[in-house]
Amino acid sequence: MAIITQLKNLFVFLFVKNIFKILFVIVFSVLFFVILFPKNELSDFVSKMVSDQSHNQVNLAFEDMSFSMANSLGVQLDQVFFEMAGRPPITLKELVASPDLMSALNRKPYGRIKVSGLFSGDAEISVHKHRSDGESKADQSMIAVTANKIDLMGLKSFLKLPFEMHGRADLNTKAISIFQLTPPADGSAQPPFTLVEIPELTLTVKNFDMPPFTLEQGMALPFNVPGLKLSEIVLKARLFDNTFQIQELQLGRANDELTGTIKGNVTMMKGPMMMPEGYELTTDLQMRQSFHDKISLLLPILNANRFVTPFAGGYSFKSKVSWRMGRAMPSFDSAR
């Protein structure tokens, strides 16, 4: 869950707090000033505006800028250098921003962003009006995100995860949100972004490889995590009412040492960080002898070995796994 939380917080920081300012305001203004500035000065000009708008939290530079007319009027940046506070820098081959100009005038962050070379892959973010919230009369926005062939090792380095992972990931998701970019008339404090729901999320990872590692942070004693190689991982999920529902997590294929499914719910804490406060999962897994040997010492420690059943060619593991904040370890019960 730590990866999901980091990605969500990163999404909020990048898109909500900075992307609107950086792209839908700054790039929009650049459309009118690009003919007035020499090209070799444009990068410095935009970099300064980005730095000012993000309170020196984001650094953006590029080699060239041009207009893009592929589908709609936009701005194309080539060889983009992107850096945010506390994270390793990212180099993008190309970034194309196509804001909805009329919506931008009304301070609505509608439009499309295409990125090439993001962790050796491609990504696209589009935002459009979804519907109005009847209670608050606020406009809800639909955010669609697609990403293809994202290198997990590059993502690991950017997120500063404590373990290595290799493979390529594809993401397809939609999120319903409310943007509050204009301060309320009564002067009350309101967050600029409220996530209402993620109605669909599909994450596919090909050729996943996680070498063994030792987890020490937050643990009473060092915890040895066995390595894992899977031909494919497919996650289908949604988020609503502070519940991350794992509709199905499909692990591996027929020839992998671990295959099966995981389903269940993860309860998230209310608030901007949305940290997990508990989960209840149902596992239906099959493992080969080689993987069982890797976790044979771990199963008794977790009191989970009673749910392992041998069969011809390996072992099955069926259990209901639950955890609540304040517990050191999860509990395992019968899945029936």
Q: Which residue has the higher pLDDT, 235 or 269?
A: 235
- Per mean pLDDT, which of 34-38, 83-87, 256-260 is the most reliable? 256-260
What confidence tier does 269 reach under pLDDT thresholds 50, 70, 90?
confident
The answer on pLDDT for 237 being more than 60 is: yes
The answer on pLDDT for 10 being more than 80 is: no
Q: What is the DSSP letter of 20?
A: I
Which of 64-83 are b and which e, b meaning 16 or more Cβ less than 10 Å from the residue's Cβ? ebeebeeeeebbbbeebbbe
The answer on pLDDT for 272 being more than 70 is: no
- 10 Å CB burial of residue 13 (0-12, 13-18, 19+) is middle
Is the dihedral angle over the CA atoms 40, 42, 46, 51 positive or is it negative?
positive
Q: What is the pLDDT of residue 31?
A: 52
Q: What is the DSSP letter of 297?
A: T
pTM of the predicted structure, to 2 decimals: 0.80
The answer on pLDDT for 38 being more than 70 is: no
The beta-strand segments (E) located in 180-215 are 193-210, 213-215
Q: What is the pLDDT of residue 162?
A: 84
The answer on pLDDT for 16 being more than 90 is: no
Q: What is the pLDDT of residue 229?
A: 95
3-state SS, 71-136, equals: CCCEEEEEEEEEEECCCCCEEEEEEEEEECHHHHHCCCCCEEEEEEEECCEEEEEEEEEEEECCCC
Q: Give Cα 12 distance to the centre of its chain.
A: 10
What confidence tier does 56 reach under pLDDT thresholds 50, 70, 90?
confident
Residue given tokens 């997590």 in the structure block: 249
Q: What is the pLDDT of residue 20?
A: 52
Mean pLDDT of 157-166: 89
Residue 34 near residue 49 (C-beta atoms within 8 A): no
The answer on pLDDT for 318 being more than 80 is: yes
Three-state DSSP state, 212:
coil
Mean pLDDT of 13-20: 51
